[in-house]
Amino acid sequence: IVAKNAQQGLEQLKVKQLATPTALAAALAEIKRKLHLPRLPSRMEGYDISNIQGTVAVGSMVVFEEGKPKPSHYRRFRIKTVSGANDYAMLQEVVKRRFKRSS
Protein backbone atom coordinates (compact mmCIF):
# COMPACT_ATOMS: atom_id res chain seq x y z
CA ILE A 1 0.00 0.00 0.00
CA VAL A 2 2.86 2.37 0.80
CA ALA A 3 4.36 1.85 -2.67
CA LYS A 4 0.99 2.47 -4.31
CA ASN A 5 0.50 5.70 -2.32
CA ALA A 6 4.00 6.85 -3.23
CA GLN A 7 3.34 6.15 -6.93
CA GLN A 8 0.07 8.12 -6.80
CA GLY A 9 1.81 11.00 -5.06
CA LEU A 10 4.52 11.04 -7.73
CA GLU A 11 1.91 11.06 -10.52
CA GLN A 12 0.07 13.97 -8.86
CA LEU A 13 3.34 15.89 -8.57
CA LYS A 14 4.06 15.33 -12.27
CA VAL A 15 0.60 16.64 -13.19
CA LYS A 16 1.14 19.77 -11.07
CA GLN A 17 4.50 20.38 -12.71
CA LEU A 18 2.95 20.09 -16.18
CA ALA A 19 0.21 22.57 -15.27
CA THR A 20 2.35 25.62 -15.86
CA PRO A 21 0.64 28.94 -16.63
CA THR A 22 1.80 28.60 -20.25
CA ALA A 23 0.40 25.07 -20.58
CA LEU A 24 -2.92 26.11 -18.98
CA ALA A 25 -3.23 29.12 -21.29
CA ALA A 26 -2.53 26.93 -24.32
CA ALA A 27 -5.10 24.35 -23.23
CA LEU A 28 -7.77 27.00 -22.65
CA ALA A 29 -6.99 28.60 -26.01
CA GLU A 30 -7.41 25.22 -27.72
CA ILE A 31 -10.77 24.65 -26.01
CA LYS A 32 -11.88 28.13 -27.10
CA ARG A 33 -10.84 27.44 -30.68
CA LYS A 34 -12.32 23.94 -30.95
CA LEU A 35 -15.65 24.95 -29.40
CA HIS A 36 -15.78 28.28 -31.30
CA LEU A 37 -16.19 30.24 -28.06
CA PRO A 38 -16.12 34.06 -28.12
CA ARG A 39 -13.60 34.12 -25.22
CA LEU A 40 -11.53 31.78 -23.08
CA PRO A 41 -13.65 29.66 -20.73
CA SER A 42 -13.32 30.84 -17.14
CA ARG A 43 -15.34 28.00 -15.60
CA MET A 44 -15.91 24.46 -16.81
CA GLU A 45 -18.05 21.81 -15.18
CA GLY A 46 -17.88 18.10 -15.89
CA TYR A 47 -20.52 15.56 -14.93
CA ASP A 48 -20.49 11.79 -14.54
CA ILE A 49 -22.88 9.12 -13.34
CA SER A 50 -21.76 6.19 -11.25
CA ASN A 51 -23.91 3.20 -10.33
CA ILE A 52 -23.77 -0.52 -9.74
CA GLN A 53 -26.16 -1.98 -12.32
CA GLY A 54 -28.61 0.83 -11.73
CA THR A 55 -28.51 0.76 -7.93
CA VAL A 56 -26.82 3.13 -5.49
CA ALA A 57 -26.56 5.74 -8.24
CA VAL A 58 -24.81 9.07 -7.77
CA GLY A 59 -23.90 11.93 -10.06
CA SER A 60 -20.66 13.84 -9.69
CA MET A 61 -19.73 17.35 -10.75
CA VAL A 62 -16.13 18.55 -11.01
CA VAL A 63 -15.23 22.19 -11.59
CA PHE A 64 -12.27 23.92 -13.20
CA GLU A 65 -11.76 27.69 -12.95
CA GLU A 66 -9.13 29.36 -15.12
CA GLY A 67 -8.03 25.85 -16.10
CA LYS A 68 -7.34 24.71 -12.53
CA PRO A 69 -9.36 22.21 -10.44
CA LYS A 70 -11.63 23.83 -7.86
CA PRO A 71 -12.34 20.97 -5.41
CA SER A 72 -14.32 23.21 -3.05
CA HIS A 73 -16.96 23.46 -5.81
CA TYR A 74 -17.15 19.72 -6.53
CA ARG A 75 -20.58 18.23 -5.81
CA ARG A 76 -22.13 14.80 -5.49
CA PHE A 77 -25.80 14.20 -6.18
CA ARG A 78 -27.77 11.18 -5.00
CA ILE A 79 -30.08 10.09 -7.79
CA LYS A 80 -33.66 10.40 -6.53
CA THR A 81 -36.06 10.10 -9.47
CA VAL A 82 -34.55 7.46 -11.78
CA SER A 83 -34.60 3.73 -11.19
CA GLY A 84 -32.65 1.21 -13.20
CA ALA A 85 -29.51 1.76 -15.26
CA ASN A 86 -30.47 4.84 -17.28
CA ASP A 87 -27.41 7.09 -17.29
CA TYR A 88 -29.01 9.65 -19.63
CA ALA A 89 -32.02 10.18 -17.35
CA MET A 90 -29.74 10.28 -14.30
CA LEU A 91 -27.53 12.88 -15.96
CA GLN A 92 -30.62 14.90 -16.85
CA GLU A 93 -31.71 14.84 -13.19
CA VAL A 94 -28.26 15.96 -12.00
CA VAL A 95 -28.02 18.85 -14.48
CA LYS A 96 -31.57 20.03 -13.71
CA ARG A 97 -30.85 19.99 -9.98
CA ARG A 98 -27.53 21.78 -10.51
CA PHE A 99 -29.08 24.66 -12.42
CA LYS A 100 -32.17 24.81 -10.23
CA ARG A 101 -29.80 25.31 -7.28
CA SER A 102 -27.93 28.16 -9.02
CA SER A 103 -31.02 30.27 -9.74
Show the 3-state SS of the chain: CHHHHHHHHHHHHHHHHHCCHHHHHHHHHHHHHHCCCCCCCCEEEEEEEEEECCEEEEEEEEEEECCEECHHHCEEEECCCCCCCCHHHHHHHHHHHHHHHHC
Average pLDDT value over all residues in the chain: 89
Q: What is the structure's pLDDT at 91?
A: 96
What pTM did the predictor assign? Answer: 0.76
Indicate the pLDDT class of residue 78, thresholds 50, 70 and 90: very high
**Which CATH superfamily is 42-103 part of?**
UvrC, RNAse H endonuclease domain (3.30.420.340)
Q: What percent of the chain has pLDDT over 70?
A: 96
Each residue's pLDDT tens digit, 23-44: 889 999 999 999 999 999 999 9
Residue 14 has pLDDT above 80, yes or no: no
How high is the pLDDT of residue 103? Answer: 62
Decide which of 55 and 18 is more confident: 55
Domain assignments of the chain as residue spans, ordered by start: 1-41, 42-103
